[in-house]
Amino acid sequence: MCGRYYRRSDSTTSVAPPLVFNLRFYALFAVCLFLIFPLHESAHYLTYRAMGVRLQMTLNTASPADQSQRKAIAEFAGPIFNLLLAIACLLAFYIARQRQLVWAAMGLAASMMRLVVYGIIIVAATVTGSGMTMGNDEPIAASLWGLPSLTFVIALAPLFVVIVWLLFRSFRGTLRGKALNAIGLTTLTFCIGMLIGNVLDPWLFPRK
């Protein structure tokens, strides 16, 4: 459906038809997610290197082994990359009016990658009383800046939710169907994250 247009009988304006949640979209979403993981870590890596900190990067990590060398802005660079990528994809989706399926898949993947992490962080914080339990980017950056650990989770989550909603509303289907697909994409995001973090990353970058 991507790139095809139809003409309204009462207007000369070309309008893109609604997109559809199907196997093709899910496959494209998964590919985008696999690509975003190393790009997200590259944002950490390049920021650290620009600050003169040496570190190693894997598919799922890019942080110095020496905890004293952690920098708030470098830890925050990954989430900011996801946000900027999601916004860029959203703008391309609505402005370019071409390759909509790709822009939607990339924008949703960039957003849901963080939203799933936020969900895990919030659950962990509820159970343990600390957002630092997961040791993820946003709580670490907040802590290094002397802020409550959930500061950036609370600040960024609504932005990603809005982006997801703006993309979802352009898909064909009922509210119930879209809700089910939101659950499906969330589950797929979680599974791919577990695959990368617990299987591919240790296999490709074994720690001695």
In a domain, 150, yes or no: yes
Place of tokens 């009462």: 10
In a domain, 170, yes or no: yes
In this predicted model, what pLDDT tens digit does every residue of 13-28 receive, in sequence order?
455 667 899 999 999 9
In a domain, 4, yes or no: no
Sign for the CA dihedral angle at 156, 159, 164, 165 comes to positive
The structure tokens listed for 68 are 């004293």
Name which of 134, 133, 127, 132 is nearest 142 in CA terms: 132
Structural domains counted in the chain: 1
In this predicted model, what pLDDT tens digit does every residue of 185-202 receive, in sequence order?
999 999 999 999 999 999
With 0.75 as the threshold, say if the pTM is over it: yes
Tell me the residue range of the domain where 111 lies: 28-204
In a domain, 196, yes or no: yes
If pLDDT is split at 50, 70 and 90, which confidence band does 129 have?
confident
Q: What is the dihedral of CA 187, 73, 103, 108, to 10 degrees?
A: 20
In this predicted model, what pLDDT tens digit does every residue of 25-80 receive, in sequence order?
999 999 999 999 999 999 999 999 999 999 989 999 998 988 889 999 999 999 99
The structure tokens listed for 58 are 């894997």
In a domain, 14, yes or no: no
Question: Is residue 130 predicted with pLDDT exceeding 90?
Answer: no
